[in-house]
């Protein structure tokens, strides 16, 4: 199978170490893949701001870059969801249809295909898991609390095998972190309050590390952590699964 790895623009610019961990883990698992040159933003920030018509060029460029691959793996549930659900506004060519059908969040792909082959790693820390809203409610990577049944995140299955990890359940584990892309710019006070509520919950329970499959959520939370000087760290799930030290 011809597989491409898609690296979100914010990871490339601000958290290249996350991409590095993902690449190392994929190689450990024996996944053969390519990283296409010329890849850029998927267009989600413009669309979320109400300017989707100005994102069309980014949409077409993304399709041109990844449309020939049988599987595209994105290091972001949010970006994956946007491509799958919002690229319906452009002409549905064979490449567009194939891309929308075959794009997957890398974390979900590893859970579905390689969970029994993950390397043994040691992570002796108290961890709270955060599944981004697009992943949880859009891509259905778990069960959200508003359904009225016990909540569940696929991230739990991925970290259960890790040695000495302690999973701490927050009071509202699937509540939005408040980022929402440009929502955090236009409604910054609400956004920060939502993030602070989640962080206060984590601190009260002695959590040391917040782990998520969406670095955009962690970017928002990490900004609040540093502003308030809270005793917390953030890590992408790829960093934990690859065995990176804290």
pLDDT tens digits, 25-58: 999 999 999 999 999 999 999 998 899 999 999 9
User: pLDDT tens digit string along 127-162?
Assistant: 999 998 888 887 787 777 777 666 667 888 899 889
Rounded-to-integer distance, Cα 213 and Cα 199, Å: 17
Q: Give the model's pLDDT for residue 145.
A: 75
Residues 215-234 have pLDDT tens digits of 999 999 999 999 999 999 99
The reported pLDDT for the residue numbered 152 is 66
* CB-based contacts of 46-52 (< 8 A; 24+ apart in sequence): 47/82, 47/86, 48/180, 48/181, 48/182, 48/183, 49/181, 49/182, 52/86, 52/89
Segment 227-242 shows an average pLDDT of 97
Q: Which CATH number is 119-241's, of 3.30.70, 3.40.30, 3.40.50, 3.40.1000?
A: 3.40.50
pLDDT the model gives residue 140: 80
- What pLDDT, on the 0 to 100 scale, is given for residue 180? 86
Q: Would you state the pLDDT for residue 143?
A: 74
Contact 216, 134 (CB under 8 A): no
Q: Indicate whether 72 pLDDT > 80.
A: yes
Can you give the residue ranges of every domain in the chain? Answer: 3-112, 119-241
- % of residues, the chain, pLDDT over 90: 81
| pLDDT value at 80 more than 70 | yes
- Over residues 81-134, the pLDDT tens digits come to 999 999 999 999 999 999 999 999 999 999 999 999 999 999 999 999 999 888
Distance CA 51, CA 60 (A): 15
Q: Say if strands 126-130 and 103-105 run parallel, antiparallel, or are unpaired.
A: unpaired
Residue 189, sorted as left (phi over 0), alpha (psi -120 to 50) or beta, turns out to be alpha
pLDDT by residue (tens digit) across 152-198? 678 888 998 899 999 999 998 888 999 988 888 888 999 999 999 99
């Amino acid at each position: 199978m011809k597989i491409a790895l898609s690296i979100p623009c914010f990871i490339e610019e601000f958290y290249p170490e996350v991409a590095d961990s993902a690449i190392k883990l994929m190689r450990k698992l024996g996944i053969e893949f390519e990283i296409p040159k010329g890849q850029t933003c998927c267009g989600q920030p413009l669309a979320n701001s109400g300017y989707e018509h100005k994102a069309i060029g980014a949409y077409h460029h993304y399709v041109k870059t990844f449309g020939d691959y049988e599987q595209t793996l994105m290091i972001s549930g949010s970006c994956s969801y946007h491509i799958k659900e919002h690229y319906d506004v452009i002409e549905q060519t064979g490449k567009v249809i194939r891309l929308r059908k075959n794009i997957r969040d890398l974390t979900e792909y590893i859970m579905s295909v390689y969970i029994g082959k993950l390397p043994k790693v040691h992570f002796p820390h108290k961890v709270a898991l955060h599944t981004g809203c697009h992943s949880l409610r859009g891509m259905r990577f778990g069960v959200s609390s508003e359904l009225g049944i016990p909540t569940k995140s696929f991230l739990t299955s991925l970290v259960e095998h890790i040695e000495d990890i302690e999973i701490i359940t927050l009071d509202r584990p699937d509540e939005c972190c408040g980022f929402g892309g440009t929502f955090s710019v236009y409604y910054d006070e609400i956004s920060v309050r939502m993030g602070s509520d989640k962080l206060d919950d984590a601190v009260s329970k002695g959590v040391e590390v917040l782990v998520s499959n969406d670095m955009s959520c962690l970017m928002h939370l990490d900004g609040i952590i540093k502003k308030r000087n809270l005793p917390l760290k953030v890590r992408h799930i790829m960093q934990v699964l690859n065995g990176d030290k804290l």
